[in-house]
Amino acid sequence: MSDIVDEIRTAYAPLGIELEAPTTYGTYYRLRCARCRAMVGNVGDKLLPGMSKELVQEQQFDLYAAGLLGCACGYQAERASAIDPVRAEAARKRLA
């Protein structure tokens, strides 16, 4: 695995999202819920170093916390609440 793929995996793991094997010519990876295995999206490996962490923690965290991203089983929202309960609750109120 490349460093960027490891970085992507590390960025999504706290929210209960797993990275699968490449789906298209080794540049896109399927994202799956770690609880129910539902597909929750795709991500490309052409990100710059540090970019995946920024995307997940700063830009997508609130959407996962509010249940607007992630799977229907709610695992990503649960994980977001466990990581930062205050921020997750504020996101749910703001984005409801």
CA distance 33 to 23: 16
Domain positions in the chain:
3-95
- pTM recorded for the entire structure: 0.90
Apex 66 CA angle, 61 and 70, nearest 5: 70
Question: What pLDDT shows up at residue 3?
Answer: 87
pLDDT digits (tens, 9 = 90+) for 4-55: 889 999 999 999 999 998 876 778 899 999 999 999 999 988 888 888 988 8
Enclosing H/E stretch for 18: strand 17-24
The pair of structure tokens assigned to 66 is 């509010």
Q: Which helix (H) or strand (E) holds 44?
A: strand 39-44
* pLDDT range class, residue 1, cuts 50, 70, 90: low
